[in-house]
């Protein structure tokens, strides 16, 4: 099967592409509310009625083992040969997980999916993986060009990563018009996620000249466009710039993985429900200040200098939408110890250029309280 990699579509071209999918029986992963908002619900219902697709719409904001089990149930006995994920990171995470576990028959018992992730037994399942087409509807996760998918354990609240090179989507359809309907708060959260991915990829221990160059371009596009798009949400040129910035950030951190900001963000999301973009961005400035003591980030600092530095840019772009401080999300000084205990995720915290101790993480959190 021949795939192009990244294609930019208008809304009409996107709808035509859904009708002409290069699969015999694809699974479409998109929420009912999203499909209605983007005006593709009638098309999907028609395609499903004529048995040209299967449509899975019960997507949780943070996919759990139960989410994956529901999706696996709907495709049971069906010869699914492709998946189209339309949505934010959650839709794409779910698509990759369905692909990773495709054909694995010993995952019926409670907790079996989590064990499969912990033991990485899905790595032996490459031949059964289903190709994914990713259609991002938020400009932020970068999941459309990465091989990782996040799975949250609903029992423990822990976050795990499904990780295999063949899970990277085969094709990306960029449809900037799909992002126009995003509320301002979600547009902001997605943009902050992307800028953190780019910054962290720049200073990660595994960084390289390519990832740095991609990071700088992504940060440029985001700092130039995010404030403006919040004022002009219907501006397709700005929306396209943010979509491109998100994709470039994804390409950058797919080379390096993320670092301390992401690691610290996981308990903020799991324990307090803070949206991912805000959870990662809230510590960006203090982590940058620490990392600047060891690595040269003058290129990054120069991009933010016209706004008065990283923290000032964050405060400006957040504007009247929210105050990017932990206390704004109901977190108190008494909560910090519990956050620190869960803030050290392997492959993220140890990818930070400076080794952070629990005390240092607590100081970082105190700074943004």
Domain residue ranges of the chain, discontinuous segments joined by +: 6-177, 182-367
CA 230 to chain centre: 20
Average pLDDT over residues 332-344: 96
Name the more confident of 105 and 87: 87
> Taking the chain, what is the end-to-end CA distance rounded to the nearest angstrom?
52
Average pLDDT over residues 155-168: 86
Average pLDDT over residues 309-335: 96
For the record, the structure tokens of 36 come out as 């209605």
**CATH code, 182-367:** 1.20.1090.10
Average pLDDT over residues 274-299: 96
Residue 347 in this model has a pLDDT that exceeds 80: yes
Select the CATH number that applies to the domain covering 6-177 from these four: 3.40.190.150, 3.20.20.150, 3.40.50.1970, 3.40.1170.60: 3.40.50.1970
Contacts of residue 120, defined as CB under 8 A and 6 or more positions apart, other chains included, come to none
Query: Per residue in 29-78, pLDDT tens?
Result: 999 999 999 999 999 999 999 999 999 998 887 888 889 989 998 998 89
**pLDDT reported for residue 103:** 87
Hunting for tokens 């048995």 — which residue is that?
51
Query: Per residue in 103-118, pLDDT tens?
Result: 888 887 768 888 988 9
**pLDDT reported for residue 108:** 73
Contacts of residue 85, defined as CB under 8 A and 6 or more positions apart, other chains included, come to 29, 30, 91, 92, 94, 95, 132, 133, 134, 135, 169
Task: Look over the chain and give the mean of its residue pLDDT values, rounded to a whole number.
Answer: 93
* Alpha carbons 265 and 277: distance in angstroms, whole number: 9
**pLDDT reported for residue 110:** 65
Residue 1 in this model has a pLDDT that exceeds 80: no
Decide: 190 and 275 in contact? Cβ < 8 Å: no
Residue 2 in this model has a pLDDT that exceeds 50: no
* Alpha carbons 114 and 160: distance in angstroms, whole number: 8
Decide: 60 and 90 in contact? Cβ < 8 Å: yes
Of 238, 262, 53, nearest in space to 146 by CA: 262
In sequence order, what are the beta bridge partners of 151?
A: 160
Decide: 64 and 162 in contact? Cβ < 8 Å: no
* Alpha carbons 20 and 323: distance in angstroms, whole number: 45
Average pLDDT over residues 348-359: 96
For the record, the structure tokens of 255 come out as 């080379």
**pLDDT reported for residue 33:** 92
Of 262, 232, 231, 226, nearest in space to 246 by CA: 226
Query: Per residue in 204-263, pLDDT tens?
Result: 999 999 999 999 999 999 999 999 999 999 999 999 999 999 999 999 998 899 999 999
Fold equal for 6-177 and 182-367:
no
Secondary structure of the chain in the HEC alphabet?
CCCCCEEECCHHHHHHHHHCCCCCCEEEECCHHHHHHCCCHHHHHHHHHCCCCEEECCCCCCCEHHHHHHHHHHCCCCCCCEEEEEECHHHHHHHHHHHHCCCCCCCCCCCHHHHHHHHCHHHHHHHHCCCEEEEECCCCCCHHHCCEEEEECCCCCCEEEEECHHHCCCEEEECHHHHCCCCHHHHHHHHHHHHHHHHHHHHCCCCCHHHHHHHHHHHHHHHHHHHHHHHCCCCHHHHHHHHHHHHHHHHHHHHHCCCHHHHHHHHHHHHHCCCHHHHHHCCHHHHHHHHCCCCCCHHHHHHHHCCCCHHHHHHHHHCCCCCCCHHHHCCCHHHHHHHHHCCCCCCCHHHCCCCCCHHHHHHHHHHCC
Query: What phi and psi values does residue 359 have, to the nearest 5 degrees?
Result: -65, -40
Report pTM.
0.89
């Amino acid at each position: 099967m021949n795939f192009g990699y990244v294609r930019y579509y208008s809304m009409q071209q996107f709808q035509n592409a859904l009708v002409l999918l290069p699969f015999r029986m694809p699974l479409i992963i998109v929420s009912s509310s999203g499909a209605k908002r983007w005006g593709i619900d009638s098309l999907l219902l028609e395609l499903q009625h004529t048995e040209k697709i299967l449509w899975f719409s019960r997507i949780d904001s943070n996919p759990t083992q139960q989410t994956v089990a529901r999706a696996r149930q709907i495709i049971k006995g069906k010869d699914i040969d492709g998946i189209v994920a339309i949505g934010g990171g959650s839709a794409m995470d779910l698509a990759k997980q369905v692909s990773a576990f495709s054909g694995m028959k010993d995952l019926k018992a409670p907790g079996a999916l989590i064990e499969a992730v912990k033991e990485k037994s899905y790595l032996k399942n490459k031949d059964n993986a289903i190709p994914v087409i990713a259609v991002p509807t938020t400009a932020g996760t970068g999941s459309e060009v990465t091989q990782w998918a996040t799975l949250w354990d609903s029992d423990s609240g822990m976050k795990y990563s499904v990780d295999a090179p063949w899970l990277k989507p085969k094709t990306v359809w960029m449809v900037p018009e799909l992002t126009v309907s995003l509320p301002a708060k979600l547009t902001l959260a997605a943009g902050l996620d992307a800028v953190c991915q780019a910054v962290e990829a720049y200073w990660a221990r595994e960084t390289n000249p390519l990832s740095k160059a991609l990071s700088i371009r992504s940060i440029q596009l985001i700092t130039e466009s995010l404030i403006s798009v919040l004022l002009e949400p219907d501006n397709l040129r700005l929306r396209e710039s943010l979509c491109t910035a998100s994709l470039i950030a994804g390409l950058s951190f797919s080379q390096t993985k993320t670092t301390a900001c992401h690691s610290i963000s996981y308990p903020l999301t799991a324990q307090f429900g803070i949206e991912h973009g805000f959870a990662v961005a809230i510590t960006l400035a203090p982590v940058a200040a620490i990392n600047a003591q060891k690595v040269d980030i003058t290129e990054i600092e120069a991009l933010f200098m016209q706004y008065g530095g990283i923290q000032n840019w964050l405060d400006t772009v957040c504007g009247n939408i929210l105050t990017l401080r932990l206390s704004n999300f109901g977190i108190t000084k008494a909560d910090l110890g519990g956050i620190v205990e869960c803030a050290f995720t392997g492959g993220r915290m140890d990818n930070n250029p400076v080794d952070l101790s629990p005390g240092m993480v607590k100081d970082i959190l105190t700074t943004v309280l």
